[in-house]
Every structure is written in structure tokens, then in C-alpha cells.
Structure 1
């Protein structure tokens, strides 16, 4: 669906790089009727209109769910200064759709109306090695299936047809399932070294080809309780989104999730905002 593709990284990065997006122009011509186009004043208005259409129950995709988590949980309960949100964070062979780190680390697996549940158990089993709190956020059509196929310690959130998040089951924190070696595998080398520095542990002096193996061995020797809080603190600091606060506040609400999950260079923020503030008529001529 063209409405969904408007919120893709391709459109967002094209706007940031060029101050315009020919792909955006093509997509709106495909998805907006002539009558709809005549009512839209700016590019930002077009995004808001498209998002309202995507929120319609039968059309919801992953971006709608990421936007709900961004607005209702990250920005609604926390802030960009107190919490960090990770997008598509790799754990083993799986990627967490979104994770939020504040005092703890919580993984959110999205199962939209378009998704199936076939991979859910494998995904949650992977996430538990790094995230002691796990939630599945799903549409109403999946709730019974998620309840039947998940352990009692997995939290379940429902995104209603009215775009409200309700808690079906709270997550239980399972720090006992976390494995420090899996935490290491999910980190950048600089983050792992910083964690060890905070613990006053000497960094091995070995060739670069051996450093990952040496560091992993050190992490594997920890108990989860010894390393977990330091892991949360270091990743919150190294992957903070606080610098994006001004950008988010200047963007339409429908693009807040995009601004926080699609990374563009700070030098490109001006281009991005100029594109979003362009008139819709001008945008239709982008090439």
C-alpha cells in the first residue's frame, strides 16, 4: 500500500539528503485522490492524512504500532532524556522491533493485523537472554493466539481499533533468564569495554582479531545481576536520543516515530524539516 510506503526509510532519507523526495511525490499521486489532494496544504499535512488512513483497523502495519509505542510509552510515560529507544535491535538471529531502556530494559515484539504468530516463540526465547521484560503488542485479532502461545511472564498489550494501548497481561521481570554472554553479543565493542571499565576490570591487550573472543569470555563469567544495571546505563548513554528532541518537536506527530527510528545526520535535519514544511503543490513537482 502506498500510504504505508510514505513512512519508509527511503522517503525519509531522501528528504533528509536532498530536501525533497521524488519517491514521496510518486507515492502521493498513487494513493491520494484528486479530491484529497485539493484539501492538503503541506507535506506534513499529507503525512498526517496518510497516517490517519493507516490507523484504520484493516490497514495497520508495523509503523502504526511503532508510532503508538513511541507516543504512548516512550514520550507518554518517559522522555528522550530519561529513556532510550532501540529500533530493530539484534539479539542472536532475531531483531527486537523496539526496546526501551529506562531503569530496566524492555523488549516489544509487534504483531500487527498483517503478521502471523509462527515465529513468536523463537523470537521471545531469544529476547529473554538480553531483556528481562518482554511484551507482545498486537491487534485484537491476535490476542487469543498470543495468550495461548506465550509463557505467563510475557506481557501482552493490545492496540485497539481506536488506537489505544491496553494491558492484557503485565510482564514479569525475569533477570534470571538473562545471559551476560548474549548481552555481549548484542553490544558494540566500545560499549562492552565501557561496561568493563565501569566494573574496574582490565581490558585484555590482544590483537584486534582476538578481542571479541576475549571480551566475550569475561562477560560469560558474570552473573546477570552483576552486569545488568551497568549494561542498561551504558547503552542508554551511548544510544541516547536526547539530541533529537528539537527535531521531534518540529515535526508532525505522525512522523515522531520515524524521526526516532530512522537515523539521519544532524546536518541533514534542516533539509528534512524544509521538505516537510514544503507546500503540497510544490512537492507534487519534486523530481
Structure 2
């Protein structure tokens, strides 16, 4: 009987590097798709997989992703699940922006979501530890009002016990989907104006100052940034956060909205990559030929 991916000795770390944003970029040309497929095939066959003499790139990706979901749930798998099981089911990209690896103070949030509400998702896989968690949460609440820990079901009780009750908990279940087991409670008590402003691009920061003040402060170019920060520091943090969130929502592009149109036809593992890479209509239309490439 042919071995399945679940009973193999696949080098999961190598496979995880291929099933990722960086890996998927390799398949965006016809020649690249063939070479990428050969890499995938070599990796799974070394682990003992028995494959047809010729199989499609999509079949190789299905086998690879299935293996990673069950045996090596790296961060990309969690982000894929967040997009498919939580974001796409609850929000529309005409009024929602998601930000990947968003720097806030001394921490980097795995996923930030902004629409009518604002949420941070901190992913804690079985490969992670909780050493910096409290300082991360402190940084997140300086900017966002709702924070969720996303973790494996075997770790959910651990994180529920060590974080404040206002932090939401989402677990990766045995059946490979995400389930919210505790909703996040909104909290604006820790908002910090300077942390919010420093998370923005320069033009976004200056636009907020102009909107709040009516114009940029009259000062020298060298002193402009410092003067603007001093002005912002005097404003109510909840008001600053409203400007901050509106500014981030302005990053929504037609490319982001296209994902909603094409999401149904995409394999789960490609949706997050397509969103982050600002896929065009032409790229979506080219994907079936890339995925059907025989290796």
C-alpha cells in the first residue's frame, strides 16, 4: 500500500520553507512552477512518499500542506487558517485591512486586522515559547484595543491561565480549523499616542497631525518630527487611535478586494500569500495553469 504523507519521515523544516510566502513566489512563472514542483517532489519523496510518475504541482502542494497541518504547524499554517477560518468568514476586504508582521513598539504583531473594530492576533505555535509574551501584550495594547492568542488546542489552557482575562483565545483544533474559545474584551486603557504614531509611515503620521491640528506646526524641517510628536502627545489617545485606524484603512487597495472575488476557487494555503503579494486579476487567472503543471 502506498505511504501517505501522514506516515512519512519528511523533513518538515525544509518543507515548511517551501510552503511559505517565500516559497510560493518561486512558482509565479511557468519555468519557476516546474522548478518549484521539483523541489517539493524531491522533499516529499525523500520522506518516503510514493507519487505517480507525473503529478500536478497542486497535488504536491496538497500532500505537503496536509503533512504540515498535522505534523509541523509552522506560522504560515496558522496565518492561512486565520485568513480562511476567521477573517474571510467574518469580514469583507472592501472595508478591512490585514497587516502582516506589524511593528508596534519593541514587538512585532503577527497579524493586525482593522475595520470597524481593531484586533491583534499573536500566534503561539507548538514551536514557540511564552518568554516575551507579557511584553508583547503590553506593546499591543498601546495601539490596539483587542488582542487574541492563537495557539494549538493542546496549549490553549496554558495560555488562558497566564494571560489577562481580556485577552481572547483562539485554538487550532484536532480537526484542523480555528475555534474561538474566549472572545477578546476591548480595552483602551493602555493606548499610547507616541507608539501609535511611530508605527506609521512618515506621510501617514504627518497627515494625522495635519488633520488634528489643521496644519503642520511651523518649525524647521529638522525639528518637525519632534514638534509633531509633542503636539500629538497632548491629544486624547482614543481620538488619536481613531485617526490612526482610519489611516491604516486607507491602505486598502483594489488588489486586496480581488481576493474576495477569487477566494472560493483558491486552495486554502494560497489565500494568505495572494493577499500579501497584491495579486492582480491577471495573476489569479494564471494560477490554474501554474497549479496544473506536471512534475
Residues 258 and 281 of structure 2 are in contact (CA less than 8 Å); yes or no, is this contact kept in structure 1? no
Q: Conserved in 2, the CA contact under 8 Å of 1:157 and 1:167?
A: yes
| Matching of residue 160 in structure 1 with residue 179 in structure 2 | no
Greater shift, 115-124 or 192-201, is seen at: 192-201
Match of 1:20 in 2: 32
Taking the aligned partners of 1:182 and 1:17, their CA distance within structure 2 comes to 41
Give TM-score scaled by structure 1 length.
Answer: 0.85
Could you say which residue in structure 2 is the equivalent of 1:285? Answer: none
Please state how far the C-alpha of 1:181 moved relative to its aligned partner: 1.1
Q: Tell me what 1:133 maps to.
A: 146
Distance of 2:152 and 2:49 partners within structure 1: 31
- Greater CA drift, 270-279 or 151-160: 270-279
CA 1:168–1:206 in structure 2 vs 1: closer, same or farther (change >3 Å)?
A: same
Q: Provide the rounded CA distance (Å) in 2 between the counterparts of 1:197 and 1:85.
A: 25
Runs of 4+ in 1 over 6 A off after TM superposition: none
Unaligned ranges ≥5, structure 1:
282-287
Equivalent residue runs for 1:66-105 within 5 Å = 66-105=79-118
Tell me how far 1:129 sits from its aligned partner: 0.5
Give distance in 2, aligned partners of 1:115 and 1:39. 38
- Counterpart of 1:269 in structure 2 is 283
Q: Greater relative contact order (Cα 8 A, min sep 6): structure 1 or 2?
A: 1
TM-score where L is the length of structure 2: 0.83
Deviations 1:235-270 (A, max 9, x none): 012244225445656642221012223x36759837
Q: Which residue of 2 aligns with 1:284?
A: none
Indicate which of 38, 62, 66 corresponds to 2:52: 38
Partners of 2:107 and 2:282 lie apart in 1 by 31
Distance 1:166 1:277, change over 3 A: closer
Q: Name the CA distance, whole Å, in 2 between partners of 1:259 and 1:266.
A: 9
Match of 1:54 in 2: 68
Aligned counterpart, 1:5? 17
Change (3 A) 1:19 1:178: farther
CA drift at 1:228: 1.7
The root-mean-square deviation of aligned C-alpha atoms, in Å, is 2.7
